[in-house]
Amino acid sequence: MKRIIGLGSLAMDIMLQVAELPAEDGFALINNTSTVHGGSAANVITQATRLGAETGFIAQIGDDSVGVQLRDTLRQEGIDVSAMPVKKGGVSLHTNIVVDQRGSKFIMLNMGDCFLDLRPEQIDTDYLCAGDIFYTDLLPKDAALFALKKAKQAGLTTVFNLQLDLGTMQQFGIGADTIFEALEYVDIFAPCRQGLHKLYESTCDIKCIEKYQAQYSGLLVLTLGAEGALGVSPSENARVSAHPVKVVDTTGAGDSFLGAFMYSYLIAGSSLRDALQFSSVAAGLTCTKLGARQSPVLAQVISQL
């Protein structure tokens, strides 16, 4: 079994339910508190694990209660977390979301002092290079770029998911130049549609793909929401329709798609078209439940093919 090592975003949403949102200088009683584990990269690796892949994950957390829960949740999924640095006295990335009974909310993002502070020298390169597939969303920048280059040099198949639009990535210090540099070391590029458009300054999928292919030889996998998904490489092209489901929540669908694609295409050895179809089913099933980590197990996907 090939092993996937992921490095990227990991977070927790702390949901605080109240009857009404407080006015300025007001207060509200919390009726219920719940936690939702997320982070796009962690969601991707979770999906691959649920399908049967051997996986590991790298992200820096604190030794606070949030960090402990984040690590333990990944471990319970079967993901190896032995290479995750833990910062003593650190504050792990999390959000506090206050939501009232009408669904109105406000969100407070606490970046903490751990996630973005992961440094290249903290990465266990022996652990990284013992894998077969390396996945990243390029967050945090320096550590992810370092790991991507090391993985490529060690012969791993590398996968880069541009899961945020360019404007948001720039807020994390990642501009187009950094993304183009990263793509020199990438075998499979999976951008969100908006991110691809901004990167190549066009709203036309075909023009963006042509520009990408003029620079790079890697496989480009593009999800198109209700329009399905496509894969384009120098040797083959394939496109599939979206899997028809009753949609409850699309959160995490793209993460599920990519985790399933890595499993099907890189581990199970499926053809490009079959891998895209498999991933479309997985993403569709994720949309039938509320929450970002409602991704299916292998038997559920197979039953819908």
The mean pLDDT value for 238-247 works out to 93
The region of weakest confidence among 4-8, 50-54, 148-152, 249-253 is 249-253
The mean pLDDT value for 187-214 works out to 96
pLDDT higher than threshold 90 for residue 185:
yes
Residue 78, phi-psi category: left (phi > 0), alpha (psi -120 to 50), beta (remainder): left
DSSP character at residue 117: G
Is the model more confident about 37 or about 83?
83
Question: What does the block give as tokens for 290?
Answer: 């509320």
Q: N- to C-terminal Cα distance for the chain? A: 23
pLDDT band at 279; cut points 50, 70, 90: very high
Mean pLDDT, the chain, whole residue set: 94
The mean pLDDT value for 125-138 works out to 98
- For a pLDDT cut of 70, what percent of the chain falls above it? 100
pLDDT tens-digit readout, 20-72: 998 889 999 999 988 888 899 999 999 999 999 999 999 999 999 999 999 99
pLDDT band at 250; cut points 50, 70, 90: confident
The residue to which tokens 């979301």 are assigned: 97
The mean pLDDT value for 285-289 works out to 91
- Residue spans per domain, the chain: 3-7+40-80+115-304
The mean pLDDT value for 281-302 works out to 92
Query: In whole angstroms, what is the distance from residue 300 CA to residue 305 CA?
Result: 9
Q: Among residues 50, 58, 108, which one has the least CA distance to residue 86?
A: 58
pLDDT of residue 99: 87
- Are 102 and 72 a contacting pair, CB within 8 Å? no
The mean pLDDT value for 213-232 works out to 95
pLDDT band at 249; cut points 50, 70, 90: confident
pLDDT of residue 83: 97
pTM of this structure: 0.93
Query: In whole angstroms, what is the distance from residue 28 CA to residue 10 CA?
Result: 29
Q: Which class would CATH give 3-7+40-80+115-304?
A: alpha beta
pLDDT higher than threshold 90 for residue 239:
yes
Kindly report the three-state secondary structure assignment for every residue of 214-265: HHCCCEEEEECHHHCEEEECCCCEEEECCCCCCCCCCCCHHHHHHHHHHHHH
Neighbours of 56 (CB within 10 A): 23
CA separation (Å) from 216 to 150, 184, 273?
19, 7, 21
pLDDT higher than threshold 80 for residue 291:
no
Query: In whole angstroms, what is the distance from residue 80 CA to residue 212 CA?
Result: 34
Query: Which distant-in-sequence residues (6+ apart) come within 8 Å of 181 by Cβ?
Result: 145
- For a pLDDT cut of 90, what percent of the chain falls above it? 83
- Are 70 and 93 a contacting pair, CB within 8 Å? no
pLDDT higher than threshold 90 for residue 101:
no
